[in-house]
Amino acid sequence: MTVKQSPYSAAYRFRKQGRVVLKYLLMLLLAVFFMFPIVFMLISSFKTNELQVVSDMSSLRAFLPVGELGLDNYRSVFKLEFGRLMFNSVFVMLLTVILGLFINSLIAYALARLKFRGKEILLGVIVALIIIPFEAVAIPLLVLVNKLPWFGGATSWLDSYHVQIIPFIADAFSIFLFYQFFLNIPRELEEAALVDGASLFQIFRNIVLPISRPIFATVAILQALACWNRFMWPLMVTRGVDVRPLTVGIQTFFGQDPRLWGDLMAFASMITVPVLIVFLLFQKWFVQSVASTGIKG
Amino acid sequence: MSEQKIKTKPTKYQRKEETMAWLFSAPALILLIVFLVVPFVMAIGLSFTDQRLIPNPNLPTKIVGLRNYIRLLDNEAFLRGLLNNFYFVAVVVPIQTSMALGLAILINQEIRGMNFFRTVYFAPVVTAMTVVAIVWTFLYNPGEGLINAFLQAITFGKIGPYDWLLNTKLVFPAIMLLSIWQGVGFQMVIYLAGLQEIPLPLYEAAQIDGANKWQQFLNVTLPQLRNTTVFVVLSTTILAFKLFDQVQVMTSGGPQNASMTTMVHVVQTGWSELKVGSASAMSIVFFLIVLGVSLIQRKIMNNR
């Protein structure tokens, strides 16, 4: 093994090519492992005969568009108010992410740049809050929102959009990501603007924001994914289809008898495909966002 | 006079800066206090009471001392849930971490088509866990399900078919498999970022010393990835204790609590059975575990 072979010898080249082939084989096998449930879901969603969907499972036909194909499953899912659920999910996600970007970056900017009493304590509190998982406060939060007033005389936040949005706008980890980014921006630009008489908010909007696009994209993607996938909280705080997101909607449909697998796969596909498309378009940003969660500590 | 002017000007500005800083901080700070700190304090308080989500006017809430905590000791479902969380950590954390590292090393090579593989391995991460749970429930279908068909095909009919989600021994491993499938891409990307930060001269030096690929992996890659590994291991551990979505959708903790987890039981107790006091006590236990793991993580990482 340790004998060095000439890179020009046929045996060496053969072994090297063999290794490349093996590598591709391994990677292909892994690709099959990661793709097969998604392909299976998409293919099954177009099979309109419920019996065929199930019987195809015992063979490779599960992955092939054969038999009775059509859009019937998709039509039935739209009859389940899919449009409404989709709107709810998108609406809650957009508001949570946009408001979150705004207020989390503002506090992070104050912590990274401005001088004020109590700054160190505030920073320590934010870092400590990262440790408290939402899961640990979910039940008391349920007690709390059950009794909070809202405009128009409502005495509870249950079954509303705001109960799904407001508790998730401020996020200690997002603040921390912004804070780290702002610390690394050179101060000179801001100082120049200060001399020119710009207000702090103007500096934040006109100088800091434009050069901080990467961190805004990162936080936006992380928050959007978390929001889109959120399940436990909306399960507890929404009852009807009116304000419920897709995740709870599909779970409710899944819990009904008899289980219509064709319809379920169409439903699942319609939740997954839009996100997959956005992911393919902004892949670099997604990967960068996830990578940035690892830098903490 | 002019000297004084110079002295007073900054203080005026400082005061303005101080006001602005608190104005900038206020919205996020208020929301964090109301929706994180207050419920957290409530959790501690409620855990010593027999509060119900919808209070019964005939049975006013009482302070019950440590009763909720003591009762956890013989709450079978809760203990089973906690045990399952540890079981999940013991199995999933080593498998998922080493698989993530292996995948990261694979996709870190510069060979043709790498972008395709990278995308494919990461795709499950952007798939909602509720969707994953439903698709895999179908795959685990008893009898003619795809997983059964596959097992029978590769073992020539010697293994299976199983009722995966109805079998008390198989249900939790079945849930572990899909959790790894969905989650490993996330850690892969974190490892990839770690790999790309290792200075190349380290490998060159190792090569000059005659180290082969395996020795380079052991003596350069692994030590350089120490912090990344600490992070991946401990954050996967914390995620394991939060385990909820897939279990809730697939089995609600059944059959016979075989797939119960702490969070599934917390939600069943606090939300379905309305026993907020008891669920709060469980939340506090859950928090203390997560806190312990986080403190270990911060300690190890700062010791470097």
Instruction: Give chain B positions within 8 Å (CB) of A54.
Output: 141, 144
Alpha carbons A209 and A189: distance in angstroms, whole number: 12
> Could you give the C-alpha distances from B189 to A289, A293, B7, in angstroms and in order?
10, 10, 52
- Please report the number of interchain residue pairs, chain A to chain B, with beta-carbon separation below 8 angstroms: 280
Query: What's the structural domain count of chain A?
Result: 2
A2 assigned to some structural domain: no
Query: Dihedral, CA atoms, B257, B260, B262, B268, nearest 10 degrees?
Result: -70
3-class SS of residue A47: strand
Q: Do B24 and A228 lie within an 8 Å CB cutoff?
A: no
Q: Do A58 and B144 lie within an 8 Å CB cutoff?
A: yes
ipTM over 0.95 threshold: no
Q: Do B42 and A144 lie within an 8 Å CB cutoff?
A: yes
Q: Which amino acid, residue A219?
A: V
> What pLDDT score was predicted for residue A5?
54
Chain A: closest CA distance from residue B303 (Å): 11
Choosing from A25, A47, A70, the residue where a domain stops is A70
B18 assigned to some structural domain: no
List the domain range (segments joined by +) for residue A273. Answer: 80-258+265-295
Instruction: Give chain A positions within 8 Å (CB) of B144.
Output: 54-55, 57-58
A251 closest CA partner among A227, A272, A278, A231:
A231
Answer whether A250's CB lies under 8 Å from B131's CB. yes
> What pLDDT score was predicted for residue A3?
54
**Nearest 5°: phi and psi at B280?**
-65, -40
Alpha carbons A170 and A97: distance in angstroms, whole number: 10
* Shortest CA distance from B110: residue in chain A: A20
Chain A: closest CA distance from residue B13 (Å): 10
Q: Is residue A283 located within the same domain as residue A217?
A: yes
Alpha carbons A157 and A149: distance in angstroms, whole number: 7
Answer whether B171's CB lies under 8 Å from B165's CB. yes
Answer whether B159's CB lies under 8 Å from B150's CB. no
Q: Is residue A226 located within the same domain as residue A88?
A: yes
A75 assigned to some structural domain: no
* Shortest CA distance from A261: residue in chain B: B138
B218 assigned to some structural domain: yes
Q: Is residue A37 located within the same domain as residue A89?
A: no
Query: What's the structural domain count of chain B?
Result: 1
> What pLDDT score was predicted for residue A7?
60
Instruction: Give chain B positions within 8 Å (CB) of A2.
Output: 212
Residue A59 CB partners (closer than 8 Å, separation 6+): B149
Bridge partner list, A150:
A154
Alpha carbons A95 and A90: distance in angstroms, whole number: 9
> Could you give the C-alpha distances from A129 to A124, A225, A288, B262, in angstroms and in order?
9, 21, 24, 21
> What pLDDT score was predicted for residue B1?
43
* Shortest CA distance from B112: residue in chain A: A24
Q: Is residue A170 located within the same domain as residue A249?
A: yes
Answer whether A47's CB lies under 8 Å from A74's CB. no
Peptide bond into B161 cis (omega under 30): yes
Q: Is residue A284 located within the same domain as residue A215?
A: yes
Q: Do B32 and A23 lie within an 8 Å CB cutoff?
A: no
DSSP A150: B
Chain B, window 3-32: residues with a beta carbon less than 8 angstroms from a chain A beta carbon: 14, 17-18, 20-22, 24-25, 27-29, 31-32
Q: Which amino acid, residue B215?
A: Q
For chain B, residues with pLDDT lower than 50 are: 1-7
Q: Give me the count of residues in chain A.
A: 297
For chain A, residues with pLDDT lower than 70 are: 1-8, 295-297
Q: Is residue A190 located within the same domain as residue A101?
A: yes
Q: Do B149 and A57 lie within an 8 Å CB cutoff?
A: yes
Chain B, window 132-151: residues with a beta carbon less than 8 angstroms from a chain A beta carbon: 132, 134-139, 141, 144-146, 148-149
CATH code of residue B83: 1.10.3720.10
Q: Is residue A200 located within the same domain as residue A272?
A: yes
B241 dihedral zone (left: phi>0; alpha: psi -120 to 50; beta): alpha
B164 assigned to some structural domain: yes
B42 assigned to some structural domain: no
Chain B: closest CA distance from residue A280 (Å): 8
Q: Is residue A148 located within the same domain as residue A227?
A: yes
Best of B40, B122, B131 to disrupt the A interface (most A CBs within 10 Å) is: B131
Alpha carbons A254 and A77: distance in angstroms, whole number: 12
A151 assigned to some structural domain: yes
Q: Which amino acid, residue A244?
A: R
B106 closest CA partner among A286, A18, A13, A31:
A31
**Nearest 5°: phi and psi at B128?**
-60, 140
> Could you give the C-alpha distances from A232 to A46, A83, B263, B271, in angstroms and in order?
30, 21, 10, 11
* Shortest CA distance from A100: residue in chain B: B28
Nearest to A116 among B22, B36, B244 (CB): B22
A5 assigned to some structural domain: no
Q: Is residue A107 located within the same domain as residue A222?
A: yes
Best of B50, B116, B135 to disrupt the A interface (most A CBs within 10 Å) is: B135
Alpha carbons B276 and A225: distance in angstroms, whole number: 29
3-class SS of residue B108: coil
Q: Is residue A24 located within the same domain as residue A108?
A: no
**Nearest 5°: phi and psi at A69?**
-115, 155
Choosing from A51, A70, A89, the residue where a domain stops is A70
A158 dihedral zone (left: phi>0; alpha: psi -120 to 50; beta): beta
B20 assigned to some structural domain: no
Nearest to A247 among B35, B130, B276 (CB): B130
Instruction: Give chain A positions within 8 Å (CB) of B263.
Output: 135, 232
**Strand (E) or helix (H) holding B263:** helix B262-267
List the domain range (segments joined by +) for residue B132. Answer: 75-302
Q: Is residue A125 located within the same domain as residue A216?
A: yes
Alpha carbons B300 and B304: distance in angstroms, whole number: 7
State the angle between helix axes of A10-45 and B76-107 in degrees (0 to 180), rounded to the nearest 10. Answer: 130
Q: Where do runs of H (alpha helix) occur along A230-260?
A: 232-237, 246-254
Answer whether A253's CB lies under 8 Å from B151's CB. no
**pTM higher than 0.80, yes or no?**
yes
B28 assigned to some structural domain: no
Q: Is residue A190 located within the same domain as residue A227?
A: yes
Choosing from A21, A49, A70, the residue where a domain stops is A70
